[in-house]
Amino acid sequence: MAGPERVLVDTGFLIALLDERDRHHASARRLEEWLDFVPIVLPWPILYETVNTRLARRPQNLAKFGAIVRLPETLLLDDAPYREESLAAVLAPNPARGPLSLVDAVLCNIIEDVKVPISAMLTFDDRDFLAVCQENDVELLNVD
pLDDT of residue 143: 62
State whether residue 9 is helix, strand or coil.
strand
Torsion of CA 16, 28, 75, 125, to 10 degrees: -70
Cα–Cα distance, 126 to 40 (Å, whole number): 18
Domains of the chain, CATH where assigned: 7-141 (3.40.50.1010)
* Angle (CA) 10 20 34, round 5°: 50
- 38: pLDDT strictly greater than 70: yes
Instruction: Tell me which residue of 114, 113, 112, 101 sits closest to 46, measured CA to CA.
Output: 101
**Mean pLDDT across 68-88:** 95
Cα separations (Å) of 36 from 3, 15, 134? 13, 17, 26
For helices 126-135 and 102-112, give the axis angle rounded to 10 degrees.
20
Instruction: Tell me which residue of 14, 6, 12 sits closest to 37, measured CA to CA.
Output: 6
Among 34-38, 41-45, 87-91, the range scoring the smallest mean pLDDT is 34-38
pLDDT of residue 134: 94
pLDDT of residue 2: 46
Instruction: Tell me which residue of 117, 116, 86, 118 sits closest to 104, measured CA to CA.
Output: 86
For helices 11-18 and 59-69, give the axis angle rounded to 10 degrees.
130
Q: Where would I find the H helices in the chain?
A: 11-18, 25-30, 44-50, 53-56, 59-69, 83-91, 102-112, 126-135
pLDDT of residue 142: 65
**pLDDT confidence of 144, banded at 50, 70, 90?**
low
